[in-house]
Structure 1
């Protein structure tokens, strides 16, 4: 892109979309798009974007009278060729200013005039209707170039934009990303601010310059007081001009606290590229905050990991860094780090600065390891979601679907417009056949729900069109019919599917994961009352079809002489007999998958005259497999099993839903289960191992493995009835803290580690009674053992009875 000094010349360019805003001016509504291009940051000013919503044409007369009553002369009613899902023609209501949009919308609703698509901001609609997602191609007139000593941004007016799909713009190298972390006292006074990127490593810290006793590999900037610290941060942002800030709980803690300290000192928090202050929004839950900064994006590591479907027992930085990177925080006592941080601020500022920057570095490494920024960029390009968007499945679906819907002559329904009173079931889970097995195959339907959508043409508008002519449509469930040719969602999924196959071939894991999440979310969107397209006939036609497909598949397998012992949503577990070896079993798995795929093609062509997009694959071979009973009953459990597989010549235990993979069981129980099951699968004697584990538990050898870890999900005083053990432990610990004039640690939400003692549950670090070994043996070891031991003809008590008497 070239910038011309001639303001009359049109300049073309393209870049990655960072932020979007909409503002009211005297002339009307103005949309601002901030981009990062290969030549630097760009601000696009788009004028004449009229906010709009729709009403049914039968309400035109009343609407006109209401507009006259409030003298809204610049509001335009324009009859359109669009119609609602109930076949009512609509009128567009166009506004000069966003303020009038909100006033008139409320006025119409007070007079029972139904408004459609009244929850889209002009910037969202501008991008959506042009199919613009993560990248923008533009042409416009240069307005000016804002500069300072080290950076600039170009501004363009009279802009026209269109979608851009330049792979070069998807590179994270185009974006200047900075990891930010603050250190402060318990009451919020700032100590230091760490800033880390590939090109700069800086700690701004309050204190008088000190001679360093060791070399450091970062810039240490000394400031006199908090006011100077905040001013220095503003200046640092201007000089280094980051596109993206990343951090850990960085919005709700770091930036939220920074805003409070700027406000306290009456200093403008000039975060924006145009030196504007940030705009804060709150989630409906009142706790989650969002920050909008002109030309800069803030991405929280915890939120983005969850969006990318990562799951950890704890999302603390120390835990995630250890889990992903094998390294943790530079602090001696993580549980009491605030006290150590405060001590270092007063007595060892270099240690504090090193710790501060290490937190920044860890976040940077986690983003790199998990490709979180790549994930965010690719998700934005695929769906139109902003880079910092949390979740957003409904918004992603709407971004992709709505412009296509408009071009087919429809406006979108409102939430609650879908058929009421029906309930669509969840995934089909078969009753299991408990037991110990050799040679179990797992066949898995590849992306079952998206495949059903593609095969049976399930689509919101497709259902409206299908109901017009049921005889020529594909029958769904609960009275639904789907048009064979008027639909969008099957084709959206088809194109995403092709892109995912391409990403897999290119080993682009971030893109593959982003597409998988988007495709799999479409069923959830159609089944969510928070989506304007929700209709239980849509979601029911997906889940009920999946039930039918799994039951039919089970029937076909059993006709071949094999036993289906379990099935869950999109998977079938088949026992193929004890007499086969590994090679024979796996060959059979491939043959069964091919058989089922062929039968599906024949069946669907015959019943519906449609082509099957369904595909079942041979996924796993378990040489040994265990399906437990429900505890205390003889019937098989669901979503709980264990098995032995071979990978690269090594035996590997797979657990699903059992103690070994649950966060609320002790490490002793998990290790005991893994070893015990492996011995059972390998037909080894278990008696000595069980006895030895019990003896070592009573002797105290496993004390470090007896911790329970649970989340405190509410404030402590909110637990009134049925107070669980971890809350009792938390209350006792804070009672000790109160008596010792120490800070209370557990009053709000968070995690607690505790032991079971002879005086009840007690938090780690607050134990003053002996551990209750008998309780651990009964609740942890016996529970684990008695799930599997009866299947080899024994029990925990049978093995340990004589031994247990020695400990009483």
Structure 2
């Protein structure tokens, strides 16, 4: 289903209980919420079925009146069939259900009860049985020690050229294997053996996929990848059967040592590491692919038994500092084949307008293609003029999900105010509002819902708000980093 955990399943179970029948049958059905599966792999502003179907180019929902009970049965049937078809087509494209069943086949955990801790619990039980070992019972601990994280080398904000990215192959799983990190009771016979089997199986099906392009082989290798990469997180959970406080810190400690050693080795060639995070390093200047391949072979000889792979080469890359002091990676890079990668800068929330997203994308492209600052400022001046003239109104609509009853919202956020306007002034049933579209406005509530009339909305749009709170902040953040024009704000020493 789509959002069935939050809606359909609860409704059906309520009806089943009312009818006093088929409850056991209902509970025996395996259920997957494909909206949650989609959210785990695709970042987007809206995850409504209609928005996703449109974004994927597979169709859209049929229209319906606010009161669905007033629909003729034939129209209601067609409406539901269309919804089911859209969900089926999304699942066909991404093979979510196929992957779930593959994980069930590998671990023995039903898709209804799937979680990394359950997957690995079953794998460990199987392996322990082969070794004739008895596993301890699950005993959740409250005294979880502090877990020191991965090593991060902060980048220098600004434009850099000829930057190559190298990733350490399956860093944490390989640390478990090569350092024989295990629960003290098993002395390297359990967790390293399971991890090695997962990586070897993945390599087998990955090679098969490359040679045959088989969808089945791709799903299998991806399932093994998920299991191998989720093992570290499971080992740090106090409620996991084989949890031990030293295991997590042993893995991350070795990981920090490896990447710091890698950075020192790269610098010994007169190269610089621009940025590093967990298992990735950004090295410059790397002039071409031959140079990158040479460095990769040198690193692999040095790091053995660990290894790196050369991921890509950026001709130009823009790093933007984290203004909140965090460690989130924020960059945009132009690859040698003309593609632009954007990380940590995506404006994916529904309270970012299409105009803000468009401006950010355009400025990033201009910066990476080395356009002069004067040209970018001219573009922004044109955008500002069109915005204030009302020529960009259709790109100012904001959209947010309503996830609970309006009375349950403690904060009076803009999308909540917009929904309340519909219910209080236009007699719209709040149960019919799944996604609210609105604009920031010059009205007392500072918002106006689109459903109340687009012509009316255009008359009250607060265009100054969009410039000062959306377009200008997006542009300033990129331009400060690209042209290093930022200056620290002086501290206020007296009242104006």
TM-score tier after normalising by the smaller chain length: 0.7 to 0.9
After superposition, the C-alpha distances for 1:144-193 in whole angstroms (9 at most, x for unaligned) are: xxxxxxxxxxxxxxxxxxxxxxxxxxxxxxxxxxxxxxxxxxxxxxxxxx
Alignment of 1:248 onto 2:2: yes
Cα deviation, residue 437, structure 1: 1.0
C-alpha separation between the residues in 1 aligned to 2:334 and 2:207? 29
Cα deviation, residue 305, structure 1: 4.2
Greater Rg by CA: 1
TM-score (norm 1): 0.54
Task: Map 1:542-581 onto structure 2 (within 5 A).
Answer: 542-576=251-285, 580=287
Asked if 1 retains the 8 angstrom alpha-carbon contact of 2:406 and 2:420, the reply is: no
Aligned residue among 291, 296, 307 for 1:588: 291
After superposition, the C-alpha distances for 1:3-35 in whole angstroms (9 at most, x for unaligned) are: xxxxxxxxxxxxxxxxxxxxxxxxxxxxxxxxx
Q: Residue 297 of structure 1 aligns with which residue?
A: 30
Q: Does the C-alpha gap of structure 1 residues 411 and 369 become closer, same or farther in structure 2, counting only changes over 3 Å?
A: same
Cα deviation, residue 533, structure 1: 2.1
| 2:430 partner SS | coil
Q: Residue 416 of structure 2 aligns with which residue?
A: 730
Task: Map 1:106-185 onto structure 2 (within 5 A).
Answer: none
| 1:697 partner SS | helix
The gaps in structure 2 that reach 5 residues or longer are: 210-216, 487-496
| 2:317 partner SS | strand
TM-score (norm 2): 0.85
Task: Map 1:275-674 onto structure 2 (within 5 A).
Answer: 277-278=23-24, 291-293=26-28, 297-305=30-38, 309-331=41-63, 337=64, 339=66, 341-345=68-72, 349-390=73-114, 392-406=115-129, 407-416=131-140, 420=143, 422-460=145-183, 463-464=184-185, 483=187, 486-507=188-209, 508-576=217-285, 580=287, 584=288, 586-601=289-304, 612=305, 614-631=306-323, 638-647=328-337, 651-661=338-348, 664-674=351-361
Asked if 1 retains the 8 angstrom alpha-carbon contact of 2:157 and 2:481, the reply is: no
| 2:71 partner SS | helix
Aligned positions, number: 470
C-alpha separation between the residues in 2 aligned to 1:705 and 1:299? 35
Asked if 2 retains the 8 angstrom alpha-carbon contact of 1:432 and 1:638, the reply is: no
* Greater CA drift, 445-454 or 781-790: 781-790
Q: Does the C-alpha gap of structure 1 residues 260 and 682 become closer, same or farther in structure 2, counting only changes over 3 Å?
A: closer
The gaps in structure 1 that reach 5 residues or longer are: 1-246, 270-276, 280-290, 332-336, 466-482, 602-611, 797-808
C-alpha separation between the residues in 2 aligned to 1:709 and 1:673? 19
| 1:396 partner SS | helix
Cα deviation, residue 523, structure 1: 0.6
Q: Does the C-alpha gap of structure 1 residues 545 and 491 become closer, same or farther in structure 2, counting only changes over 3 Å?
A: same
Cα deviation, residue 679, structure 1: 1.3
C-alpha separation between the residues in 1 aligned to 2:5 and 2:322? 44
C-alpha separation between the residues in 2 aligned to 1:658 and 1:699? 28
Q: Does the C-alpha gap of structure 1 residues 709 and 448 become closer, same or farther in structure 2, counting only changes over 3 Å?
A: farther
Cα deviation, residue 325, structure 1: 4.2
C-alpha separation between the residues in 2 aligned to 1:548 and 1:711? 44
| 2:153 partner SS | coil
Q: Residue 150 of structure 1 aligns with which residue?
A: none
Q: Does the C-alpha gap of structure 1 residues 638 and 430 become closer, same or farther in structure 2, counting only changes over 3 Å?
A: farther
Asked if 1 retains the 8 angstrom alpha-carbon contact of 2:319 and 2:481, the reply is: no
Q: Does the C-alpha gap of structure 1 residues 409 and 681 become closer, same or farther in structure 2, counting only changes over 3 Å?
A: closer
C-alpha separation between the residues in 2 aligned to 1:775 and 1:653? 30
Cα deviation, residue 431, structure 1: 1.6
Q: Does the C-alpha gap of structure 1 residues 303 and 770 become closer, same or farther in structure 2, counting only changes over 3 Å?
A: closer
After superposition, the C-alpha distances for 1:61-89 in whole angstroms (9 at most, x for unaligned) are: xxxxxxxxxxxxxxxxxxxxxxxxxxxxx
Asked if 1 retains the 8 angstrom alpha-carbon contact of 2:437 and 2:451, the reply is: no
Aligned residue among 382, 386, 403 for 1:696: 386
Cα deviation, residue 313, structure 1: 3.6
C-alpha separation between the residues in 2 aligned to 1:506 and 1:442? 26
C-alpha separation between the residues in 2 aligned to 1:454 and 1:686? 51
Asked if 2 retains the 8 angstrom alpha-carbon contact of 1:643 and 1:653, the reply is: yes
Kindly indicate which of the two structures has a greater share of residues assigned to helix: 2
Q: Does the C-alpha gap of structure 1 residues 752 and 512 become closer, same or farther in structure 2, counting only changes over 3 Å?
A: farther
After superposition, the C-alpha distances for 1:286-314 in whole angstroms (9 at most, x for unaligned) are: xxxxx532xx53433234445x7455443
C-alpha separation between the residues in 2 aligned to 1:426 and 1:739? 52
Cα deviation, residue 771, structure 1: 1.6
C-alpha separation between the residues in 1 aligned to 2:436 and 2:463? 20
Asked if 1 retains the 8 angstrom alpha-carbon contact of 2:44 and 2:348, the reply is: no
C-alpha separation between the residues in 2 aligned to 1:786 and 1:305? 32
Q: Does the C-alpha gap of structure 1 residues 448 and 674 become closer, same or farther in structure 2, counting only changes over 3 Å?
A: same
Asked if 2 retains the 8 angstrom alpha-carbon contact of 1:454 and 1:494, the reply is: yes
Cα deviation, residue 617, structure 1: 0.8
Q: Residue 494 of structure 2 aligns with which residue?
A: none
C-alpha separation between the residues in 2 aligned to 1:393 and 1:794? 44
| 2:112 partner SS | coil
| 1:315 partner SS | coil
Q: Does the C-alpha gap of structure 1 residues 554 and 360 become closer, same or farther in structure 2, counting only changes over 3 Å?
A: same
Asked if 2 retains the 8 angstrom alpha-carbon contact of 1:445 and 1:615, the reply is: yes
Q: Does the C-alpha gap of structure 1 residues 755 and 537 become closer, same or farther in structure 2, counting only changes over 3 Å?
A: same
Asked if 1 retains the 8 angstrom alpha-carbon contact of 2:173 and 2:232, the reply is: yes
Q: Residue 763 of structure 1 aligns with which residue?
A: 449
After superposition, the C-alpha distances for 1:760-806 in whole angstroms (9 at most, x for unaligned) are: 2333324756222222112222212222324565879xxxxxxxxxx
Task: Map 1:740-759 onto structure 2 (within 5 A).
Answer: 740-745=426-431, 751-759=435-443
C-alpha separation between the residues in 2 aligned to 1:730 and 1:490? 51
Q: Residue 368 of structure 2 aligns with which residue?
A: 681
Cα deviation, residue 576, structure 1: 0.8
| 1:299 partner SS | coil
C-alpha separation between the residues in 2 aligned to 1:561 and 1:529? 44
Q: Residue 185 of structure 1 aligns with which residue?
A: none
Q: Does the C-alpha gap of structure 1 residues 503 and 700 become closer, same or farther in structure 2, counting only changes over 3 Å?
A: farther
Cα deviation, residue 344, structure 1: 2.8
| 1:380 partner SS | helix
